[in-house]
Amino acid sequence: MSPCDPGRDCPLCPRLVAFRDRQRAARPDWHNAPVPSFGTDNARLLIVGLAPGLQGANRTGRPFTGDWAGDLLYETLIGFGFATGTYDERPDDGLTLVDTRITNAVRCVPPENKPTTEEIATCRGFLAATIAAMPRLTAVITLGKIGHDSAVRALGERPSRVPFTHGGVTGVGRVTVFSSYHCSRYNTNTGVLTPEMFRAVFASVRRHLDAAG
């Protein structure tokens, strides 16, 4: 098993294991397992979300694939040259990431999309290993406060020193952290996050990476 990805039957979080087992019994045709990162470890950009959605990545096995959050994320990635192809809400749609990798702070779907503090901490080892395995990593986009705080901790810094704010840009060690509200349907439906606000974050990252050459 790679230190970057949990095994299919990862036993580390009992509550998540029990929920995973119930989902496997109910929907044996779904992925229903820890969701691995998507994209090459040679990428300069890492995007860190919260956790797989029940009917999204938990169903399809690819981060942000199969739900509204993925619609907005992949449309934005394609628009700024971080992905090519067509996003069709399935892992075999042929979409390819460009200089980008996508992962989650928690790799298994949590009940009600709410991981516990202990589960977040337990899964952080996989996030830290993912970061360590990316030698060219230059920028990290964090989607939501949980993903942000866990990524900051995985980078070896305290969240109190790098507080989450939408549009925030902070240097942490060898990388620059760009933070955004999560692109969930709840945030977009309530106006907390608009597509324009989301694209502005990616525009900043695009400029940052282009300037770095």
CATH number, position 40: 3.40.470.10
Question: What are 181-198's pLDDT values in tens digits?
Answer: 999 999 999 999 999 999
Q: Which pLDDT belongs to residue 1?
A: 53
75 and 65 Cβ atoms separated by less than 8 Å:
no
42 inside domain: yes
Does residue 1 fall inside a structural domain? no
Distance CA 121, CA 127 (A): 10
The type of residue at 168 is: G
Q: Is residue 6 part of a domain?
A: no
The answer to whether the beta carbons of residues 94 and 83 sit under 8 Å apart is no
Domain-embedded: residue 4: no
The total number of structural domains that make up the chain: 1
Q: What are phi and psi of 51, to 5 degrees?
A: -165, 165
In angstroms, rounded to a whole number, what is the distance separating the alpha carbons of residues 126 and 21?
Answer: 21
pLDDT tens by residue, 33-56:
999 999 999 999 999 999 999 999
What sign does the CA torsion over 13, 19, 59, 192 have? negative
- Does residue 192 belong to any structural domain of this protein? yes
Decide if 52 is inside a domain.
yes
- pLDDT 10s digits, 2-36: 789 999 999 999 999 999 999 999 999 999 999 99
In a domain, 146, yes or no: yes
53 lies in some domain: yes
What is the reported pTM? 0.97
Range of the domain at 19: 14-212
Give 97's DSSP letter.
Answer: E
pLDDT of residue 149: 98
> What is the average per-residue pLDDT within 63-71?
94
